[in-house]
Amino acid sequence: MELRPYQREAVEAVYEHLRARDDNPCVVIPTAGGKTPVIATICRDAVSVWGGRVLVLAHVKELLEQAAEKLAAVAPDLDAGVYSAGLGRRDVDHPVVIAGIQSVYRRARALGRFDLVLIDEAHTIPLEGDGMYRQFLAAAREANPDLRVIGLTATPFRMKSGPICVPPPEGVLNAICFEIGVRELIIQGYLSPLRTRAGSVKADTSGLHVRAGEYVAGEVEDLMDDEALVHAACAEIVELTRDRRSVLIFASGVRHGEHVVRVLRERHGIECGFVEGGTPARQRHELLERFRAGGLKYLANVNVLTTGFDAPAIDCVALLRPTLSPGLFYQMVGRGFRLAPGKSDCLVLDYGGNVLRHGPVDAIQLRDRAAGDGEAPAKECPECRALIAAGYAACPECGYEFPPRRKTNHEATATGAGILSGQVERTEHEVEDVCFFVHEKRGAPPDAPRSMRVEYRIGFGRWVSEWVCFEHSGYARAKAEEWWRARSNEPVPDDAEEAVELAEAGALAPTLAITVERRAGEQYDRVVGYVLGEKPPRLEDPDACPEYAHADPGIDAEEIPF
């Protein structure tokens, strides 16, 4: 199996983090973006190249099955076992063990010594308390105090709120070493585009109480199970999905889900499957297989199909439940990200106000709910009910022009393509972090010129990219030289690899802020302005070199990274 360029970058970023730092990294790749091939590649390299032993942990058996399948494809000769009560296996004597956390969290000693532990869906690790992951890792470190942990997730924040990476000793995971966004993968053709629309009848969530960071479940179900709301939502879902092939519905509770199924059947003559936590395993398996195969168009569920469920043909997701959890919102919408033959996009029908609450799925905003301040990160078009980012001046679906309003420094910025022909919007952002990568254009021949991709972090989970073309000729090379000289006293590098090496060694002035331009009709935002710090001295000056520049030259660059 050949990795996609960003998957290869993710693997390399993990190895670099393990070599250069003592803490534990996390990889962020969107749902359907392919975390499992990254896991399989790290397992293969850890065993075959470095002679290590690896444990892969997940919390649902579907993820375990995916990991085993991908590992067999990437490294068919690798000896891998599975330890899962749900799958009826208890393999322990293998270089790679793929395990369910529920099955092993009290059995760390029985599994033996590991060098690496990879945790899929790492946002499920609690920040506090002695949960299953923490219990297992504490016991595993008794066998190997040098154990390293690698997390992989689509949502670098917990289901309630807050980042999953925090400094040790509080955090199991401590830093994001690689992150790629939904929007970038949609543009590159790896994820399905999304369209979002609000329901014509909406539930008022203002009276709901909050417990442990989420709406009280019983109150949510009572609110959403209103007779008029269920009838209106079902009628609208039927109408808007006539040309859709596969519709996944998220209900607010068992009673509510059964109500939805009954209304679809009795009033519209539509069969809708239903799965919840108490559905017998055989019945659940049969329903999911029918849904995946196209024999069942509509499927409703309650809290069981948010992670690990792979049905690429899903081209409509209906959210009949409100949530305060940005992670749960993302996971529900993410069921529609996968590509499938004949699928042009995925329609998201939001009856719970989730897009208005959390923002577009490619730019989810975490806000202080206790404070209750801050502007809504999205808005609804009054003409067509499309849900769009708050910064849009006109609706991209119907062209409705919103009344002009005064901009502030805290205004949410639009996401997605341009709106009107010729429209240009420029916004300045403070830069929180900068990363550098060698970029190879997708599908380009091996001898094609590469570029240095620069990623600017301008907020939580928000990155803006630009490409500096040192290996090109003509105008592109001239612009790259100008870009470099504005930031560095080093000679202009000849190729992208040298540029990245120098950048990571501290040869560039810090970027304090960037101005981002969004132009109608163009897929990518442009970085058109910079606020730079002072240029650093030449690296040849021993006093100017970063500490790691003086490392022992006898250390092998390919030594074991854990």
pLDDT in tens, 215-272: 999 999 999 999 999 999 999 999 999 999 999 999 999 999 999 999 999 999 999 9
Q: Which of 136-145, 287-296, 339-348, 351-360 has the lowest mean pLDDT?
A: 351-360
Q: Among the residues of 172-226, which ranges form H helices?
A: 182-187, 217-224
Tokens 């040098």 -> residue: 146
Average pLDDT over every residue of 161-172: 80
Burial of 506 (0-12, 13-18, 19+ CB in 10 A): middle
The pLDDT of residue 223: 96
Question: Using an 8 Å Cβ cutoff, are 384 and 352 in contact?
Answer: no
Among 186, 156, 172, 185, smallest CA distance to 9 is for 185
Tell how strand 511-519 and strand 526-532 pair up: antiparallel
> Strand (E) positions, 277-322?
298-301, 316-319
The pLDDT of residue 524: 63
CATH 3.40.50.300, the chain: domain bounds: 5-180, 186-400
DSSP assignment letter at 536: P
Q: What are the C-alpha distances in Å from 157 to residues 163, 173, 274, 328?
A: 4, 12, 29, 10
- Per-residue confidence band for 132, with pLDDT thresholds at 50, 70 and 90: confident
Tokens, residue 218: 């019983």
Q: What are the C-alpha distances in Å from 519 to residues 412, 416, 469?
A: 17, 11, 21
Rg of the Cα atoms in the chain: 25
Tokens, residue 262: 């009954």
- For domain 186-400, which architecture applies? 3-Layer(aba) Sandwich (3.40)
Q: What are the C-alpha distances in Å from 249 to residues 60, 99, 193, 351, 562?
A: 20, 30, 19, 11, 43
Please give the model's pTM, rounded to 2 decimal places.
Answer: 0.67
Angle (CA) 66 287 84, round 5°: 35
Burial 16-33 (b: 16+ CB within 10 A, else e): ebbeeeeebbbbbbbbbb
- For domain 5-180, which architecture applies? 3-Layer(aba) Sandwich (3.40)
